[in-house]
């Protein structure tokens, strides 16, 4: 998995409009064919039309993330924001296919996109199985 921060999140950090310690973040799954654009995918409204539809254990606007941690990586010259793993259980059918997930800040105005996690190809969770995204991270350099 690769991650990429949106350009808009860098602006929001510089203007103190986002607070990783206190804001509520969500993770949403994207539908087949979605391609992240760090320049134009700034807000939830920019990506909501490409979100996976509700059903089979997935609900539109995703799941709330917990356990945020922000660290400084001086070796790789970046900040790293991580959250606990997130899980969905497929029920009544498969979840997906999905090429990746978007993290949004639901507390900040207009639900800005923090970043994108690229799964490296379409992923589908069969009915009855558990879909887990581990090591959720966005890097800002």
Q: How many CB atoms lie within 10 A of CB 92?
A: 9
Give pLDDT tens digits for 55-96.
999 999 999 999 999 999 999 999 999 999 999 999 999 999
pLDDT band at 1 (very low <50, low <70, confident <90, very high): low
pLDDT band at 21 (very low <50, low <70, confident <90, very high): confident
Give the count of domains, the chain. 1
Question: Domain limits at 60?
Answer: 2-140
Give pLDDT tens digits for 87-113.
999 999 999 999 999 999 999 989 999
Give me the pLDDT at residue 58, please.
Answer: 96
Q: 0.75 cut: is pTM over it?
A: yes
Give, in order, the Cα–Cα distances in Å from 19 to each of 38, 66, 74, 91, 107.
20, 14, 21, 35, 9
The alpha carbon of 130 is separated from its chain's Cα centroid by a whole number of angstroms, namely 18
- Mean pLDDT of the 120-135 span: 95
CA 84 – CA 67 distance, rounded (Å) = 5
Task: Put the strands of the sheet holding 63-64 in their side by side order.
Answer: 2-5, 113-125, 95-105, 25-29, 63-64
- Arithmetic mean of pLDDT over the chain: 94
């Amino acid at each position: 998995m690769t991650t990429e921060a949106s350009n808009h999140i860098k602006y929001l950090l510089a203007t103190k409009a986002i607070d990783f310690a206190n804001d509520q973040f969500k993770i949403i799954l994207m539908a087949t064919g979605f391609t992240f654009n760090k320049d134009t995918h700034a807000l939830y409204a920019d990506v909501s039309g490409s979100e996976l539809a509700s059903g089979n254990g997935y609900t539109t606007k995703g799941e709330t993330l917990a356990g945020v941690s922000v660290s400084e990586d001086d070796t790789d010259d970046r900040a790293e924001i991580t959250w606990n793993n997130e899980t969905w259980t497929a029920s009544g059918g498969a979840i997906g296919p999905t090429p990746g997930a978007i993290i949004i800040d639901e507390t900040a105005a207009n639900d800005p996109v923090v970043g994108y996690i690229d799964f490296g190809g379409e992923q589908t969770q069969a009915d009855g199985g558990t879909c887990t995204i581990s090591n959720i991270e966005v890097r800002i350099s």
